[in-house]
Structure 1
Amino acid sequence: MSFNEGTQIDSSQVEDRRGPGMGRGGKTGIGIVGALILLVGGYFGVNSGLLNGIAGAIDGGSGQQETAAIGASSAAQLCKTGADANNRLDCRINATVNSLNAFWPSYLKQNGGASYGKIKTVLFSQQTSTACGPASTDVGPFYCPGDKTAYFDPGFFQELVDRFGSSGGPLAQEYVVAHEFGHHIQDVLGNISQAQDDPQGASSGSVRVELQADCYAGIWIKYATTTKDPATGQPFLKSITQKDLNDALSAASSVGDDRIQEAATGQSNPESWTHGSSAQRQKWLTIGFQNGSLTKCDTFAVSTP
């Protein structure tokens, strides 16, 4: 979905750790072993310190954080309006964060009364530090419950297309951001810990947590075009198209456990799944979008998610 050009971006909701002139971070290539390890919790997941320690070792083990000061090219200075969000990925992430932070407080208040606190969002490249441990860009986007922060290396969104075969498009990218905010909603509602209690398998707690975050992303997509920018009183986003939906579904499919495992090893092992199959991820994103209901997103209430 494209943003309305007059939307005002609140850059205070995003911390840019990339430093001056930082674009896509340099990445050390990982092989089959690295890809399989990352399946344990990366690619839109909930971050654990153990996972990132492993991923950091694969990435070279330097453990160094990108600490360059924010300069003239930072998102905070370049991202002002919806027009910027339509032209720059970092601005699109920022504007999506603004929309999500505007949507979820009132939605939760109307649907159970849970209190929503705006989460912190960080843009980084290569590596950064988190309350869940050191994070490598190879883990992909993730949410850390320890500091209630969503982390994004913008370079991942090109990987989504080049490496995972997503069709790309704005809503494919916005869906990824919305998925991480879905984990925050789980944190607010108290069920995020079930991912660690039952970490692997086609019907595991981990898979159910990830599919529920996809469903919550679908809820936001349903209402995104009516969620208003508090600065202008106008909706953040323009009307959704079928192509937009197809892009989001393509992104969800591209990071299914079965698809990633088959690409890495030529076969899929459901007993090791942590995020769900491509079909499951598309299914629950669609359920959220079609119903717009938290109760319909209860992936723990069904025998087979």
Structure 2
Amino acid sequence: MQWEDYRQSENLEDRRNGGGGFAGVPGGRGGVGIGTMVVLGLVGWALGIDPRILIGGAEMLGVGRSSAPTQESRPASGPPQDQMGRFVSAVLAQNEDVWTKVLPQQANKRYEPPRLVLFTRVDRSGCGTAQAAMGPFYCPEDKKVYLDLSFFQEMQRKLGGGGDFAYAYVIGHEVGHHIQNLLGILPKVNQLRERSSERDANALSVRVELQADCFAGVWANNIQSMGRIDQGDIDEAMKTAAAIGDDRLQQASQGVAVPDSFTHGSSAQRTRWFTTGFRTGSLQSCNTFQTNQL
């Protein structure tokens, strides 16, 4: 993936300690480990509707909440200077440039870019506490994406899902949730979930997540047309999408997959919907709410 010569986004808040971080794409040293179990740092990654669901899922796996006070650290001034920080900033800028063009063309909606917050271990969001164990997430209340870069290390070490475009796919997925928020999809789904049974609420969450995967595919389609990625990059994204399917994670953690408890979709579903967006480049192809077969 070509990103080094791309502009840096002005919508990044670097709240890491001193604004620094582990250097190197994909796998520098440093950062904070998310946990000792594979699922610990991966279960429910990217669930942008309600981060409390992620915390609850982590607690079920034996993760206690941090007893440390939750204080929002002071953002570092200027763009990040470390390689991984610059990478995230450039990918965010690519999302801004793509969606500023695509959203008005395809949805007659002006794109209002989200801010992306880089933090270490624990921070404060408009949706409550942000913790590394939750994985990346989008908060619709403050319209920000929250990311602890140690998540990328966990992807590489425990799932073999590393690579710069795999990480870019994660960011694109979270921005996809922001697109859903701008289009009014997230508020409607949240209202439906509040009136639904646990099983039906999970099914709605799956549709939201798969649509965000599809939107990430639409972004990738446009990045490819700019000559920024090649087939090897797409293969990285496919490998990552498959690795973080609910069925794969549940098999790894408990030895059996329980479809009614899925919140993000199976490996096959996540791969299929990213591919749909990438192949068509169309938001209209990403309507996961009007299909019986996901």
Report runs of 4+ in structure 1 exceeding 2 Å deviation: 5-8, 21-32, 47-61, 63-71, 198-203
Shift of the alpha carbon at 1:254?
1.1
Equivalent residues of 2:145, 2:175 under 8 A apart: yes
Cα offset for 1:190? 1.1
Q: Does 1:76 align with 2:82?
A: no
What is the CA distance between 1:181 and its match in structure 2?
0.4
Paired residue for 1:82?
none
Structure 2 matches for 1:171-182, cutoff 5 A? 171-182=165-176
Which residue among 86, 92, 110 is the counterpart of 2:87?
92
> Quick one: which amino acid aligns to residue 206 of structure 2?
V
Contact 1:17/1:66, CA 8 A, preserved across alignment: no
Change (3 A) 1:147 1:112: same
CA distance in 1, matches of 2:124, 2:174: 18
Choose which of 64, 69, 82 in structure 2 pairs with 1:64.
69
Cα contact 2:72–2:124 (8 A) shared by 1 = no
Q: How much identity, in percent, do the aligned residues show?
A: 36
Are the counterparts in 2 of residues 59 and 136 from structure 1 also a CA contact under 8 Å? no
- Cα 1:295–1:47 change in 2 (3 A) is closer
- Residue aligning to 2:35: 29
Q: How many residues align?
A: 278
> How well do the aligned residues superpose, as a CA RMSD in angstroms?
2.7
Q: How does 1:83-122 map to 2 (within 5 A)?
A: 88-122=83-117
User: Equivalents in 1 of 2:95, 2:249: separation in Å?
Assistant: 28
Per-residue CA deviations over 1:20-45 (Å, capped at 9, x if unaligned) read: 2444543463659x849x74xx2111
- Cα 1:299–1:67 change in 2 (3 A) is closer
Deviation per residue, 1:140-179 (Å, 9 max, x gap): 010000000011111101111222332x211101000000
Taking the aligned partners of 2:68 and 2:49, their CA distance within structure 1 comes to 16
- Segments of 5+ residues of structure 1 without an aligned counterpart are 80-87, 227-234
Pairing 1:151-170 to 2, within 5 Å after superposition: 151-166=146-161, 168-170=162-164
What amino acid does structure 1 have at the position aligned with 2:268?
A
Alignment-mate amino acid for residue 26 of structure 1: V
Unaligned runs of 5+ in 2: 23-29
* Aligned counterparts of 2:128 and 2:202: Cα–Cα separation in 1: 27
Aligned to 2:291: 302
Q: Distance in 1 between matches of 2:169 and 2:150?
A: 16
TM, length-normalised to structure 2 = 0.85
SS in 1 for 2:117: strand
- Name the CA distance, whole Å, in 2 between partners of 1:75 and 1:174: 22
Give the aligned partner of residue 2 of structure 1.
2
What's the TM-score, normalizing by structure 1? 0.82
Equivalent residue, structure 2, for 1:261: 250
CA displacement at 1:69 relative to structure 2: 4.5
SS of the equivalent of 1:129 reads strand
Q: Residue 16 of structure 1 aligns with which residue?
A: 14
Distance in 2 (CA, whole Å) between partners of 1:13 and 1:287 is: 29
Q: Counterparts of 1:95 and 1:67 in 2: how far apart (Å)?
A: 24
Q: Aligned residue for 1:252?
A: 241
Give the 3-state SS of the residue equivalent to 1:134 in structure 2.
strand
